[in-house]
Amino acid sequence: MDKELRIIISGGGTGGHIFPAISIANAIKAKHPNAKILFVGALGRMEMHRVPAAGYEIKGLPICGFDRKHLLKNVAVLFKIWKSQYIAKKIVKQFKPMAAVGVGGYASGPTLNVCASKGIPCLIQEQNSYAGVTNKLLAKKASKICVAYDGMERFFPAEKIVKTGNPVRQNVLDNTMTKEEARKSFGLNPDKKTVLLVGGSLGARTVNESMKQHLDIVKNADVQFIWQTGKYYNEEMNQAVKAFGDIPNLKVLDFISDMGAAYKAADLVISRAGASSISEFCLIGKPVILVPSPNVAEDHQTKNAMALVNKDAAIYVKDADAPHELLHTALQTVGNDSKLASLSENIKALGLKNSADVIADEVVKLAWGE
Ligand SMILES: CC(=O)N[C@H]1[C@@H](OP(=O)(O)OP(=O)(O)OC[C@H]2O[C@@H](n3ccc(=O)[nH]c3=O)[C@H](O)[C@@H]2O)O[C@H](CO)[C@@H](O)[C@@H]1O
């Protein structure tokens, strides 16, 4: 019988924070099936339904970020932070975690602060090449900081850093479908080349516009498309497709639950350059065109993308050029088998394997004081 193991995992806001957290939980459970794991997220954010869907319990804090444009609104934010801290204290008192993991995002702030103040060891996981605000604030209190990029001593104490890469969900890596089965599972022709478009976990306006403005090219192309619009844009994009008329070689979805199947179906992916997505492309060796979001802190997606593009491991299309360039580049690339093969080979060489396992081991060592 395994020793007792009680772990809190906190953070979220977007898939880029939530899915690494779920992979860490899965890796802990695989090694220690009796481990008790509790997630703490932000009420109203994506983690509150994605985490239970992955089979874990989650408690929500009423936390949100500071409003940098409307300073007066921040009085309410301060109150929410205070209240979240109070609720986090109650959660920690009841659950009695032996270690806490923060994956970035608002909820990890109060949760890890409370844990650290009670002497519970904390580990943080930073997915990006540019550290997020919450993780930077928590760094002093953390015992270990797991990162995916070199040079993170700019943000964190060097002696705490472990380079592990980003954990990727096991079902993204272990999909056992054939390409044909995967395409069929999306209602598509099993034998036709396929392009998958993903705008990160929430969808991306630019990627969507690049499709919406060229539905004629889409319809006449000799390939088929899986188009993830994101929840916010889904209705608008569906209406545009409806107004255009029937496009049998196009499947429009707001969110893709089985990314393993979507990647398997695709010969080429078009994507934002979020850190978790990039780790997935590397580990499965997927040819990809990256359109980094220009709207993120310190332009970190462009930095994520360039680490690949400079090694001929991905194609770069600038956000501003995407509406007129993206589809042409995609169609050219997907028709060029030797280009697809070299992109796949080059990107695969950059993957850091077993990240979730390595982090899980670090967490368990902290919990058991080893
Ligand atoms: C706008 C924004 O703030 N983006 C940030 C956010 O991105 P975002 O949440 O988009 O994160 P990533 O691109 O890193 O990861 C997206 C994750 O969602 C999954 N997925 C995506 C679409 C879908 O339909 N189904 C699905 O399961 C992907 O497989 C991947 O696991 O967090 C990342 C990690 O901190 C950052 O690098 C990004 O800059």
- Residue 269 beta carbon below 6 angstroms from any ligand 1 atom: no
Residue from 11, 38, 30 nearest 357 by CA: 30
Q: What pLDDT shows up at residue 69? A: 73
The CA 16 to ligand 1 mean position distance, Å, reads 4
At 316, is the secondary structure helix, strand, or coil?
strand
C-alpha triplet 142, 52, 127: angle, nearest 5°: 35
* pLDDT tens-digit series, residues 165-224: 999 988 899 999 999 999 999 999 999 999 999 999 999 999 999 999 999 999 999 999
The string of pLDDT tens digits covering residues 226-258 is: 999 999 999 999 999 999 998 999 999 999 999
Copy the structure tokens of residue 14: 């977007």
Calculate mean pLDDT across residues 312-318.
Answer: 98
Ligand 1 centroid from CA 3, angstroms: 35
Strand pairing class (315-316; 268-271): unpaired
Q: What angle do CA 331, 263, 12 make, to 5 degrees?
A: 115
Q: Is the CB of 276 under 6 A from ligand 1?
A: yes
Q: Taking the model in full, what pTM does it have? A: 0.90
Q: Measured from the CA of 277, which atom of ligand 1 is nearest?
A: 13
Is CATH 3.40.50.2000 what the domain over 2-166+354-368 is classified as, yes or no?
yes
Instruction: For residues 281 and 351, give the distance between their C-alpha atoms in angstroms, rounded to a whole number.
Output: 8
Break the chain into its structural domains and give their ranges: 2-166+354-368, 171-348
Retrieve residue 190's tokens.
Answer: 């099993």
Is 14 annotated in a binding site? The answer is yes
CATH topology (fold) of 171-348: Rossmann fold (3.40.50)
| One fold for 2-166+354-368 and 171-348 | yes
Give CA 216 to chain center in angstroms.
31
What is the dihedral sign for C-alpha 84, 90, 92, 95?
A: negative
Which of 17, 168, 201, 271 has most ligand 1 atoms within 8 Å of its beta carbon, as the pocket-test mutant? 201
